[in-house]
């Protein structure tokens, strides 16, 4: 009987929110952390009982005890940090967005290809069983021909100009953070999008958006209306409409439930439980791909990252910038 490849050993760059989410999902398979600070590296390693803590990212990339690096730094640094790992011959999972624009994204994909390394943009919801079920039944014609996708991902984040969500230097703005979530399922169902128009209210006195609304269409004429926001009550949903029915998915990021509406039938609830959120499903996909010798995942292939980055570029190029109608009432940090 063929011997199965051992599970890959992971290292994480950064010690923020996503790094902790990964540590929770990976358990003992996370073996090392890299931080810009010795103290933060030690504290993270202590919290998660990791054998190795590096006080810089280059040493993590070069660590022979690490097979896969998870890049969990803010998005302006995804490109340089991913290159660091790929040049050291490591497989890489990068938090979304893969990079800041389509040009950087293409460069990373070419580098991974040349190095023969696995590379995937983090897209935890796409790996959730309910999203995979809905994708499968839509492909099988459960709602006929898809004619539109309407998706929303709204968050309410306390305003703090120093937080990465509101700081341009840290890649701030709703689009590159929350905006990924409605765009992903839309790309999944409609393919490459033509952006017709977009609006982006900006935080007062800043060049970061607190919301973005996009009107787009796919190659076959199906339409998309998408919105993301960082200053409105939390709402997350996708509505996929076809010629004979509709599917509604609630809570994109942690979704377990959907409802299938078909002409002449009672609404049909669909349920697929997730294992403690989407992250365990995503890391299992990386393991599966590595054990099969793949450099890209069929669930989140490179073409999808490229198309997503192109759409994000187009939204930024075409958007009308507006004053933010919301009141950013929280006291700014001094
Ligand atoms: N896939 C998704 O659905 C999803 C969801 C949420 C977030 N994200 C993405 O994941 C990335 C990380 O998000 P997060 O919420 O974990 O951020 P975070 O809590 O701010 O942590 C980012 C970490 O990156 C490191 N870092 C390196 N250079 C930095 C710099 N110049 N400024 C600030 N931090 C720096 C820091 O660790 P050290 O200083 O210890 O090195 C910091 O702890 C972002 O790109 C975000 O958009 C993706």
Is 3 a member of any domain? no
Query: Does residue 325 carry a pLDDT above 90?
Result: no
Q: Are residues 41 and 63 in the same domain?
A: yes
Q: Strand, coil or helix: what is 235?
A: strand
Q: Domain range for residue 17? A: 10-121
Give the pLDDT band (50/70/90) at residue 333: very low
Contact 100, 79 (CB under 8 A): yes
Separation of 242 CA from ligand 1 center, angstroms? 37
Residue that finishes a domain, picked among 72, 91, 121: 121
Separation of 19 CA from ligand 1 center, angstroms? 8
Separation of 298 CA from ligand 1 center, angstroms? 26
Q: Are residues 225 and 140 in the same domain?
A: yes
Tens-digit pLDDT profile for residues 114-140: 999 999 999 988 999 999 999 999 999
Q: Are residues 94 and 130 in the same domain?
A: no
Q: Is the dihedral of CA 41, 95, 324, 252 positive or negative?
A: negative
- What DSSP letter does each residue of 13-78 carry, written as one string? E--SHHHHHHHHHHGGGEEEEE-SSHHHHHHHHHHHT-SEEESSHHHHHH-TT-SEEEE-S-GGGH
Q: What is the mean pLDDT of the chain?
A: 94
What region does 49 belong to: left with phi over 0, alpha with psi -120 to 50, or beta? left
Is 334 a member of any domain? no
120's tokens: 């995937």
Residue that finishes a domain, picked among 121, 142, 163: 121
Question: Which of 14, 23, 44, 157 has most ligand 1 atoms within 8 Å of CB, for mutation?
Answer: 14
State residue 265 phi and psi, 5-degree precision.
-125, 150
Residue of the CA atom closest to atom 35 of ligand 1: 73
Q: Are residues 153 and 229 in the same domain?
A: yes
CA-78 nearest atom, ligand 1: 45
Q: Are residues 270 and 165 in the same domain?
A: yes
Say which CATH number the domain at 197 has: 3.30.360.10
Is 295 a member of any domain? no
Say which CATH number the domain at 101 has: 3.40.50.720
How far is Cα 164 from Cα 167, in angstroms, rounded to an integer? Answer: 5
Is 289 a member of any domain? no
Query: Does residue 10 carry a pLDDT above 50?
Result: yes
Strand pairing report for 193-202 and 320-323: parallel
Separation of 5 CA from ligand 1 center, angstroms? 31
119: enclosing H helix or E strand: strand 119-121
CA-181 nearest atom, ligand 1: 3
Residue of the CA atom closest to atom 26 of ligand 1: 73
Query: Does residue 308 carry a pLDDT above 50?
Result: yes
Residue that finishes a domain, picked among 103, 121, 139: 121
Tens-digit pLDDT profile for residues 18-32: 999 999 999 999 999
Separation of 37 CA from ligand 1 center, angstroms? 14
Residue 329: what pLDDT?
A: 57
Q: Are residues 156 and 200 in the same domain?
A: yes
Q: Is the dihedral of CA 289, 88, 278, 173 positive or negative?
A: negative
Tens-digit pLDDT profile for residues 133-180: 999 999 999 999 999 999 999 999 988 889 999 999 999 999 999 999
CA-180 nearest atom, ligand 1: 3
pTM: 0.94
Is 292 a member of any domain? no
Residue 1: what pLDDT?
A: 43
Contact 271, 144 (CB under 8 A): no
Q: Are residues 93 and 147 in the same domain?
A: no
Tens-digit pLDDT profile for residues 278-294: 889 999 999 999 999 99
Separation of 154 CA from ligand 1 center, angstroms? 19
| Residues with a CB atom less than 6 Å from ligand 1 | 14-19, 35-37, 40, 72-75, 77, 95-96, 122, 124, 164, 170, 177
Q: How many domains does the chain have?
A: 2
CA-13 nearest atom, ligand 1: 41
Separation of 74 CA from ligand 1 center, angstroms? 4
Tens-digit pLDDT profile for residues 37-93: 999 999 999 999 999 999 999 999 999 999 999 999 999 999 999 999 999 999 999
Q: Are residues 255 and 170 in the same domain?
A: yes
């Amino acid at each position: 009987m063929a011997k199965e490849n051992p599970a890959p050993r992971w290292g994480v760059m950064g010690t923020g929110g996503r790094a902790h989410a990964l540590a929770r999902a990976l358990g003992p398979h996370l073996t090392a952390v890299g931080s810009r600070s010795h103290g933060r590296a030690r504290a993270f390693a202590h919290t998660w009982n990791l054998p190795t803590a590096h006080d810089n990212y280059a040493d993590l990339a070069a660590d022979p005890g690490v097979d896969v690096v998870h890049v969990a730094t803010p998005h302006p640094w995804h490109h340089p940090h991913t290159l660091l790992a790929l040049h050291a011959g490591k497989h890489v999972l990068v938090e979304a967005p893969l990079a800041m624009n389509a040009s950087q994204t293409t460069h990373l994909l070419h580098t991974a290809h040349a190095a023969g390394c696995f590379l995937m943009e983090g897209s935890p919801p796409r790996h959730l069983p309910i999203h995979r079920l809905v994708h499968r039944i839509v492909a099988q014609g459960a709602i006929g021909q898809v004619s539109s996708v309407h998706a929303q991902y709204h968050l309410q984040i306390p305003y703090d100009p120093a937080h990465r969500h509101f700081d341009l230097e840290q890649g701030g703005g709703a689009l590159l953070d929350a905006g990924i979530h409605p765009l992903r399922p839309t790309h999944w169902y409609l393919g490459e999008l033509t952006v017709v128009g977009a609006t982006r209210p900006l935080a007062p006195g800043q060049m970061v958006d607190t919301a973005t609304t996009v009107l787009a269409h796919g190659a076959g004429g199906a339409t998309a209306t998408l919105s993301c926001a960082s200053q409105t009550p939390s709402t997350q949903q996708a509505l996929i409409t076809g010629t004979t029915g509709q599917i509604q998915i609630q809570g994109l990021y942690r979704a377990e439930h959907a409802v299938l509406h078909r002409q002449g039938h009672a609404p049909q609830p669909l349920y697929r439980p997730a294992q403690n959120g989407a992250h365990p499903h995503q890391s299992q996909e990386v393991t599966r791909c590595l054990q099969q010798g793949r450099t890209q995942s069929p669930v989140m292939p490179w073409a999808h990252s490229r198309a997503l980055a192109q759409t994000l570029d187009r939204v930024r190029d075409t958007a009308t910038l507006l004053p933010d109608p919301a009141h950013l009432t929280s006291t700014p940090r001094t």
